[in-house]
A and B are shown apart, each in its own frame.
Chain A
Amino acid sequence: MSDAVEVKTLIIDEQEVSARRGQTILDVARENDINIPTLCHLEGLSDVGACRLCLVEIKGSNKLLPACVATVFEGMEVSTNTERLQKHRRMILEMLFAERNHICAVCVSNGHCELQTMGQEQGLTHIRLPYRNPSLNVDASHERFTVDHNRCILCTRCVRACAEIEGAHVWDVMGRGINSIVITDLHEEWGSSTCTRCGKCVQVCPTGALFDKSKVGTDHPKNPDFLPYLNLMREAQ
């Protein structure tokens, strides 16, 4: 039976590739330099399949699957960039841009923002959806960092980095639906929370929602690449 075979062969965008059993489509695609857009996925964190940008088409199924969590099977034929997918990706990005307040020109992450880059890559030229501009809180109570909820896209990378890597679980999401926001402790000020001040959440944040105060007005690239390294070192111990 095909399930017993450890190595699978499949086709991604007309390219024949091989994969290990249990590997995700995203993993295999990236190994073969096939780009599938992602926002909530981050190497080193668990996957939640929430941003829906990595949806791909599988031949024989009408359902779109998130490449970050869907695993390969023998003979699978994957399309990662069809017109249908492009249309949905642009709409999802439009939804994100219109959901809160993303004015790139005045943002600390301008030029280093994953949302901004993604919009450019996906050929987004304008936003048809009405902007919601909810005017949310900016919490600058922390001595080193600031959270500006107006720029948050609720990818929950900060929540996962804090819980899974730092082990502190200071961040989580409160409320639900369009009113969800990330919080520290009992929705208390970040500065007086149980935060360990490790700064991992800031490094993994894809936008300018979490930023280092000392970097305001300067070029502020983030570096989330330490996560796989940390995981590797922990496994070795």
Chain B
Amino acid sequence: MPAFTPPPLPSDDKRWKIVNGTMRKNGFARHALIETLHTVQSSFGYLDDDAIRFVARSLRVPLSQAYGVVTFYHYFSLKPPGKHTVTVCAGTACYIKGADKLIAAAEQRLGIPPGQTTKDGQISLMTARCVGACSRAPVVLYDGEVAGEVASEHVLEQLERWAVE
């Protein structure tokens, strides 16, 4: 059997070298799939078909299996994120303290359901399972920054600030 040669990098974008680095560190073993997908997402912000194809070929994972993994885990995104992201925690403590109202307010203001990005690519609306800041419920993450005991007005104010940028 001929020796396996990994496919060439998809482009001369330096970020592919970082991705390749993760795979090399793991000896191009199949079990590095999720680790590598994490690297792709943190480098590029999301996973597109070309990226998944490149990683799958490099690690010798069947395409359908790689796609199955990507779509199984909710942390992975197939679409580029907006310039800003508002994430409403939908954990139990947050639900008890009215997180549904925050989601509804953001949905109405942005005109998109959770998981989507506004047409202008400005803001993504997300929900999280639980960010572990339950004692300050309801919790919202503005671009990853935790805000606790949040009211709907607070979310709307932040969305306004982002909208006029």
- Whether A and B are associated in the same complex: the answer reads yes
User: Which secondary structure dominates chain A's binding surface?
Assistant: loop
Q: How far is the CA of A184 from the CA of B68 in the complex (A)?
A: 10
* B62 lies within 8 A of chain A by Cβ: yes
| Interfacial residues of chain B within 35-90, with CB under 8 A of chain A in the complex | 49, 52-53, 62-68, 71-72
Given A186-B49, A186-B52, is A194 in contact with B63 using a C-beta cutoff of 8 Å? Answer: yes
Whether B64 contacts A184 by the Cβ 8 Å rule is yes
Q: Which size class do B's interface residues fall under?
A: 10 to 19
**Complex alpha-carbon distance, A176 and B67, angstroms:** 12
A-B pairs under 8 A by CB, number: 40
Query: Would you list which residues of chain A between 86 and 113 have a CB under 8 Å from chain B?
Result: none
Contact at A169–B62, with CB atoms within 8 Å?
A: yes
Q: How far is the CA of A170 from the CA of B66 in the complex (A)?
A: 11
A147-171: which residues lie under 8 A (CB-CB) from chain B?
A: 163, 168-171
A215 contacts partner chain B, Cβ-Cβ < 8 Å: no
CA distance A170 to B56 in the complex (A): 13
Assembly CA distance A185 to B64 (angstroms): 4
In the bound assembly, the distance between CA atoms of A184 and B63 in angstroms comes to 8
If A173-B68, A174-B68, A176-B72 touch, whether A186 touches B53 (CB-CB below 8 Å) is: yes
Q: Report A-chain residues with C-beta under 8 Å of the C-beta of B72.
A: 174-176
Residues on the B chain within 8 Å of A174, using CB: 64, 67-68, 71-72
Which residues of A have CB within 8 Å of B66?
A: 186
Q: How far is the CB of B11 from chain A (nearest CB, A)?
A: 19
A contact residues around B67 at 8 Å (CB): 172, 174, 183, 185-187
- Given the interface pairs A186-B49, A186-B52, A186-B53, the reply to whether A170 lies near B64 with Cβ below 8 Å is yes
Given A174-B67, A175-B71, A187-B67, also A163-B62 (CB < 8 A)? yes
- Least distance between A169 CB and chain B CB atoms (Å): 4
* Cα of A163 to Cα of B72 in the assembled complex, Å: 19
Q: From residue B122, how far is it (CB to closest CB) to chain A in Å? A: 28
Considering the complex, give the chain A residue whose CB is closest to the CB of B72.
Answer: A176
Tell me, rounded to whole Å, the shortest Cβ–Cβ distance linking B113 to chain A. Answer: 15
* Residues A170 and B71 in contact in the complex (CB < 8 Å), given A186-B52, A186-B53: no
Measured between alpha carbons, how far is A175 from B73 in the docked complex, in Å? Answer: 8
Alpha-carbon gap, A194 to B65, bound state (A): 13
Chain B residue numbers with a CB within 8 Å of A185 are 63-64, 67
Query: Which of B52, B53, B65 touches A169 (beta carbons < 8 Å)?
Result: B65
**Residues of B close to A173: CB separation below 8 A:** 68
Contacts of B62 in A (CB 8 A): 163, 168-170, 172
A172, B64: Cα distance in complex, Å? 5
Determine the chain B residues whose CB is within 8 A of the CB of A176 once the complex forms.
Answer: 71-72
Q: Tell me the bound Cα distance from A187 to B64 in angstroms.
A: 7
Q: Which residues of chain A have C-beta atoms less than 8 A from B53's C-beta?
A: 186
* A184-B71 Cα distance, complex, nearest whole Å: 14
Which residue, A169, A171, A172, A194, has most C-beta atoms of chain B within 10 A?
Answer: A172
Chain A residues, CB < 8 A from B52: 186
Residue among A170, A173, A186, A187 having the largest count of chain B Cβ atoms under 10 Å: A186
Q: Which residue of A lies closest to B74 (CB)?
A: A176
13 contacts between A and B (CB under 8 A): A170-B64, A171-B64, A172-B62, A172-B64, A172-B65, A173-B68, A174-B71, A175-B72, A176-B72, A183-B67, A186-B49, A186-B67, A187-B71
- Supplied contacts A170-B62, A187-B71, 18 more A-B pairs, CB within 8 Å: A168-B62, A169-B64, A169-B65, A170-B64, A172-B64, A172-B67, A172-B68, A173-B68, A174-B64, A174-B72, A175-B72, A176-B71, A183-B64, A183-B67, A185-B63, A185-B67, A186-B53, A186-B64
The 7 closest A-B pairs by CB, nearest first: A172-B64, A169-B62, A172-B68, A185-B63, A174-B71, A186-B67, A172-B65
